[in-house]
Amino acid sequence: SAVISQKPSRDICQRGTSLTIQCQVDSQVTMMFWYRQQPGQSLTLIATANQGSEATYESGFVIDKFPISRPNLTFSTLTVSNMSPEDSSIYLCSVRSGGAGDNEQFFGPGTRLTVL
Amino acid sequence: KQEVTQIPAALSVPEGENLVLNCSFTDSAIYNLQWFRQDPGKGLTSLLLIQSSQREQTSGRLNASLDKSSGRSTLYIAASQPGDSATYLCAVRRVFGNEKLTFGTGTRLTIIP
């Protein structure tokens, strides 16, 4: 299994500002994923981040709003830019075990964001 | 497009009872299915992973089954405890590779002491 940590665990931000969320994994992984979970909803994939290449964004999500960095195989950041109250969500980092194994997916503890 | 549904949306049972949570998916061409639990305001904890070639997986008091042809999976929890109270999510992955997980809507489980 993979152990994933996220910073910050929660934050309250003002409209129009930006927040960068950090994700650290205890092992090297090829693929990292960023999800959003809006209040009372299930998880929605924002983007897939591979080391050494541009992140791949899902429909409805754009790089200007959610820029992602992936500088190495154990770390990634997601920035939520120009925030509005609609961005209030839990943001979750996730990784998938690689190789020829079962490809189980693991999640971090999440960052709870409230935008006023 | 894959759609994943979990019924019921919420379930309350007395402590000690056995219970079953249901997950159905529309496209049977899946690579694997994973069950997670989520405590309020927290991240997801992986419970069980079932490959498409498997019929079931067991971990402690948990047993997950998969019937790919009918597009169904169940999560059986034996001798429920108050600590089992959480939201349970199932997620399916279509093909090996970069295919993303598609999540169900979740079942919020409450175990009554």
Tell me the pLDDT tens digit for each residue of B24-77: 999 988 989 999 999 988 889 999 999 999 999 999 999 999 999 999 999 999
Distance CA B62, CA B37 (A): 12
SS3 B83: helix
Q: Chain B contacts of A33, Cβ < 8 Å?
A: 100
Condensed to tens digits (0 to 9), the pLDDT of residues B73-97 reads: 999 999 999 999 999 999 999 876 6
What mean pLDDT do residues A80-109 have?
A: 87
- Residue positions counted in chain B: 113
Q: How far is CA B100 from the centre of its chain?
A: 17
From B51, B101, B105, residue closest to A105, measured CB to CB: B101
CB contact under 8 A, A92 and B43: yes
Query: Which run of H or of E encompasses A43?
Result: none
SS3 B82: helix
Structure confidence at residue A98 as a pLDDT band (50, 70, 90): low
Cβ contact B22:B71 at 8 Å: no
Cα torsion angle, A107, B10, B104, B78, sign: positive
Q: Chain A contacts of B44, Cβ < 8 Å?
A: 43, 92, 94, 107
Q: Does A90 touch chain B (CB under 8 A)?
A: yes
